[in-house]
Amino acid sequence: MIERDQISARFKELYGTEPTLVSKSPGRINIIGEHTDYNEGFVLPTAIDKAVYVALSKRTDSEIHLYAEDFKEPYSVDLKEVAPSDKGWPNYILGVVNQLKNRGLELSGFNLYIDGDIPVGAGLSSSAAVECATGYGLNELFGLGLDKVEIAKIGQLAEHTYAGVKCGIMDQFASVLSKAKHVVRLDCRDLSYTYVPLELGEYEIVLLNTNVKHSLASSAYNDRRYACEHAVSLIQKKHAEVKSLRDVDIIMLDELVRPFDEDSYIKARFVVEENERLAKACDAMESGDIVEMGRQMFRAHEGLSNEYDVSCQELDFLVEKAKHFPEVLGARMMGGGFGGCTINIVKKGFGQQLVEALAPAYKNEFNLELTPIFVKTDNGSELVY
């Protein structure tokens, strides 16, 4: 948790005035439902108590002045000349500005300071949190009248256009619309959603950060998306009504995809089965059957590793080791893949023992530290003041 006074003091140091407002948008976890969002499937995310904070004030000119605490770096550009930057980090903010301009919304210059406590590279969607905190803050600062779903969509399009990742809507939606002590069951086709209570009883969520992010993550993500779209295009030759993998069953895949493209078949089958696993996990959650929910998480990891092929040695190692502990009901890799965290459903009070048991073996195998992240659920985007 970053203190409000700390943000205000730093903003004043940089810009000479107090910020008009500070918005925050959290990172997210996802219980189950990975790589289903861009296939118009279902996801089951919720926000966590780690967030990105954006402090803002208007300027009297048309300049945008940014400062990122993580990089100790300023960046400035005229509102009329907003374009992707080769620096990288400003793009998550500038992409949002570009989306607001595209909608014909009235902006002027502004000062923005950004800080946060979401571990970067851990698969907790710090980039979505930046986009959503920016969108939420600018909406409030300029009275743009956007609703929360629109802010999430703007964040997603900012990532597509300025960061170059064709992400689904889940991360931004969870960052903006989550509710503490609940997960969001989100239908990524029509963005309808319900809140499902997350009652874990004697269990809690513990994240284990591999502290690795393999470089093929972004390109592989786009490759997986293409494989899924290709499977759909093969099916559409016979079933014109099919719009996405949401409309597809295994029989269609067996008949119309497998004979022509084995890789697209395997990837598409994973997505279809992942939606089924999510439905089972959701039913289990609503009936208080945490054991069954955990079982679906373990199965999801097998699919992500062996079928969708987005895991890595480090993630697989942690999930396999976690299976040996009766205090761990479920574990899987979380997020886009190739690094980041595993999410584990662990008996309350056992988390630290689990880390102490796994860390030496992990260090010995990969020469990497294992970092636990203990999280609670939290609300989505809101004003700090």
Q: Are 131 and 96 in contact (CB under 8 A)?
A: yes
168 annotated to a ligand binding site: no
Q: Closest Cα partner for 344 from 336, 353, 172?
A: 353
Active site residues per annotation:
171
34 annotated to a ligand binding site: yes
121 annotated to a ligand binding site: yes
CA dihedral 318, 323, 327, 333 (to 10 degrees): 40
Q: Closest Cα partner for 305 from 287, 324, 323, 327?
A: 323
78 annotated to a ligand binding site: no
25 annotated to a ligand binding site: no
Rounded to 10°, the helix 170-177/148-158 angle is 140
Q: Closest Cα partner for 172 from 380, 385, 311?
A: 380
Q: Closest Cα partner for 200 from 86, 343, 12, 87?
A: 343
126 annotated to a ligand binding site: yes
327 annotated to a ligand binding site: no
Q: Are 167 and 305 in contact (CB under 8 A)?
A: no
Burial class (CB in 10 A: 0-12, 13-18, 19+), 334: buried
122 annotated to a ligand binding site: yes
303 annotated to a ligand binding site: no
262 annotated to a ligand binding site: no
The residues pairing with 330 across neighbouring beta strands, listed in sequence order, are 345
201 annotated to a ligand binding site: no
Q: Closest Cα partner for 29 from 224, 209, 212, 285?
A: 209
Give the annotated binding-site residues for substrate.
Answer: 34-37, 221
Give the annotated binding-site residues.
Answer: 34-37, 121-127, 159, 221
Give the annotated binding-site residues for ATP.
Answer: 121-127
